[in-house]
Amino acid sequence: MTIPDDIINDAAIIGAGPIGLELHAALKAAGASVRHLEAGAIGHTFSWWAPRTKFFSSPDRIAICGIPLAVSGQDKATGDEYVRYLVNVARQLGLNVETFRAVTGIRKSDDHFEVDVTRSAEGVGGLESMPRMSRANPADAILARNVILTVGNMHAPRRLDVEGEDLPHVSHYLGDPQKYFGRRVVIVGGKNSAVEAAIRLHRVGARVTIAYRQETFDAERIKYWLLPELEWLIEKGRIGFEPSCTVERIGDDQIVLARGGEAFERDADFVLLLTGYVQDQSLFDQLGLDRIDPESTNRPAYDHATMQTSVPGVYVAGTACGGSQQRARVFIENSHLHVDRICRAITGKGVPWPIDPEMQKLTDKHEER
């Protein structure tokens, strides 16, 4: 059966984070027909950050579509401020994002793709690792000549697979720091999320110990304004530090760590396993995308000139390019150029806003690695 051309969209964008929104705006300006699908709300990833968590990047580097991001006090933006900004950009540019619509399947059909979509109650990632989908609404299929995956890469915690990991007082997310007042909290990890959590919990009156598998913290992997404060707090004995150790198991009111083959206990009312996150790669698997670095990030292979993957008509952009990053190489500020590449590949036109040459340098730097 021949399908009329006006039924087939030029592009289906999956994921409504900053790069997904920027792609939508660029393709719309170029005259392309777009369906934009998001399993949760716009900017879902930032909604499960702890309240008032700040970006490492400055506002100008995470602004999208040439629209400035104004932050109170000229400071770095918080996650909740950024979500409000993204929603306002979508409203200002008239971007029709179909939120709470989860993609359950993608398949190639002749010269286009069929994308199965159903209603969902949650986004992918965060406190809900997978969206809760409606059983009452069967999946609808939308048709598109091109599919663009801007799905991000922080969908589920990187588990330690130790006894007690699923106990009620154990979490892979910080949440609101206020709830930990007066409690003994052991934080496992040694990168940005763990370091920031240790400082914030100390400030609200928690008794904090941070346990890390390395002997010292890596200054290149921690926000420059956090590390000196943490080191001072550890030096003064205000935050406990257990270096060069691993987690053996977690009990009801203690955690068992091991160093040099010897186990020891630390009291804990709460345990935060802030050891990073992994990507939900189910759509990559369905599409049969070629991968790079399968033993680690398992990131999709793509053409740097167009962002097209090994499957013609399927593109990847933003942090989705990085797979399950153990060390952040791809983030918002070095992904803006992906938008221009994809827009040119699909429509022959670039983005309608100026491209900062510094963004070009950032993208070149991460792609050289």
pLDDT digits (tens, 9 = 90+) for 284-337: 999 999 999 877 788 999 999 999 999 999 999 999 998 887 666 788 988 999
Q: Determine if residue 258 is left, alpha or beta; phi over 0 gives left, psi from -120 to 50 gives alpha, anything else beta.
A: beta
Backbone angles phi, psi at 115, to 5 degrees: -115, 115
What's the mean pLDDT in 329-354?
Answer: 93
Cβ(12)–Cβ(35) below 8 Å:
yes
What does the DSSP assignment read for 279-293? ---HHHHHHT--EE-
The single-letter code of the amino acid at 84 is R
Who wins on pLDDT, 115 or 329?
A: 115
Say whether both 144 and 172 belong to one domain.
no
Residues 6+ apart with CB under 8 A from 25: 64, 65, 89, 93, 95
Residues 147, 237: one domain? no
Question: 31 and 140 in one domain?
Answer: yes
Burial 153-163 (b: 16+ CB within 10 A, else e): bbbbbeebebe
- 148 plus 210 within the same structural domain: no
Distance of alpha carbon 141 from alpha carbon 70, whole angstroms: 39
Q: Using one digit for the tens of pLDDT, what is the confidence trace for 149-169?
A: 999 888 888 999 999 999 999
pLDDT of 213 higher than 50: yes
The pLDDT of residue 65 is above 70: yes
- pLDDT value of position 367: 63
If pLDDT is split at 50, 70 and 90, which confidence band does 357 have?
Answer: confident
Mean pLDDT along residues 105-128: 84
Residue 170 shares a structural domain with residue 257: yes
Q: What is the mean pLDDT of the chain?
A: 90
Distance between CA 62 and CA 38 in Å, rounded?
Answer: 20
Claim to verify: residue 224 and residue 75 sit in the same structural domain: no
Residue 365 or 147, more confident: 147
Last residue of a domain, one of 212, 247, 273: 273
235 shares its domain with 300: no
* 179 and 150 both lie in a single domain: no
Mean per-residue pLDDT for 66-70? Answer: 94
pLDDT score for 73: 76
Mean pLDDT of 129-155: 78
For 233, phi then psi, to 5°, come to: -65, -35
d(CA 107, CA 115) in angstroms, rounded, equals 7
**Domains of the chain: total:** 2
Angle in degrees, CA 8, 13, 18, rounded to 5: 155
318 in the same domain as 216 = no
Is residue 142 over pLDDT 80? yes
Mean pLDDT on 11-23: 97
Answer whether 119's CB lies under 8 Å from 16's CB.
Answer: no
Compute the average pLDDT of residues 342-347. Answer: 97
- Give 4's pLDDT tier (boundaries 50, 70, 90): low
Q: Work out the percent of the chain whose per-residue pLDDT is above 70.
A: 91
Question: What pLDDT shows up at residue 225?
Answer: 85
Question: DSSP states of 230-288 as a string?
Answer: HHHHHHTTSSEEE-S-EEEEE-SSEEEEEETTEEEEEE-SEEEE---EE---HHHHHHT
Question: Is the confidence at residue 351, as pLDDT, over 80?
Answer: yes
Average pLDDT over residues 80-101: 96
Mean pLDDT, residues 16-27 taken together: 97
At 178-191, the pLDDT tens digits run: 999 999 999 999 99
**Quick one: 129 and 174 in the same domain?**
no
Give the lowest-confidence range in 139-143, 287-291, 338-342.
Answer: 139-143
pLDDT tens, residue by residue, 34-50: 999 999 999 998 888 88
In 10 A of CB 214, how many CB atoms? 10
The closest of 269, 239, 263 to 251, measured between CA atoms, is 269
Query: Which residue, 48, 81, 277, is CA-closest to 175?
Result: 48
- State which of 273, 298, 324 marks the end of a domain: 273
β-strand partners of 157: 277
Q: Per-residue pLDDT tens for 217-267? A: 988 888 888 999 999 999 999 999 999 999 999 999 999 999 999 999 999
* Range 181-185, long-range pairs (CB < 8 A, 24+ positions): 181/205, 181/206, 182/206, 182/207, 183/207, 183/269, 183/270, 184/209, 184/267, 184/268, 184/269, 184/270, 185/209, 185/268, 185/269, 185/270, 185/271, 185/272
> Are 335 and 281 contained in the same domain?
yes
Domain coverage including residue 327: 5-156+277-368
> Does 173 lie in the same domain as 135?
no
Confidence class for position 1, pLDDT limits 50, 70, 90: very low
CATH number for the domain spanning 44: value is: 3.50.50.60
Phi/psi of residue 231, each to 5°? -65, -35
